[in-house]
């Protein structure tokens, strides 16, 4: 997975969750964005952005 695909997939996931589940407030959106930033860093460190993406989804659902 390339970094541009990761950014695109993260943006689509964040928009889908934000609109489908009607997350209210900027802080929740900030938390989800931070989870995806952390997942990107972990994925870059592990040389697998797909693993980072899955970790980001799990973190965003757990921190919601």
Q: How many domains does the chain have?
A: 1
Phi/psi region, residue 60 (left: phi>0; alpha: psi -120 to 50; beta: rest), is alpha
Enter the pTM of the model. 0.80
State the Cα–Cα distance between residues 44 and 29, nearest whole angstrom.
Answer: 22
Decide if 13 contacts 57 (C-beta within 8 A): yes
Domain that holds residue 47: 3-62
User: What is the per-residue pLDDT across 1-52, written as a single tens digit (0 to 9) for each?
Assistant: 788 898 899 999 888 888 887 767 777 788 888 889 999 999 999 999 899 9
């Amino acid at each position: 997975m390339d970094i541009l695909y990761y950014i695109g997939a993260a943006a689509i996931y964040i928009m889908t969750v934000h609109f489908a589940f009607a997350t209210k407030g900027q802080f929740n959106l900030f938390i989800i964005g931070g989870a995806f930033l952390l997942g990107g860093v972990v994925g870059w460190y592990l040389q697998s952005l797909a693993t980072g993406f899955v970790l980001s989804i799990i973190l965003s659902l757990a921190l919601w």
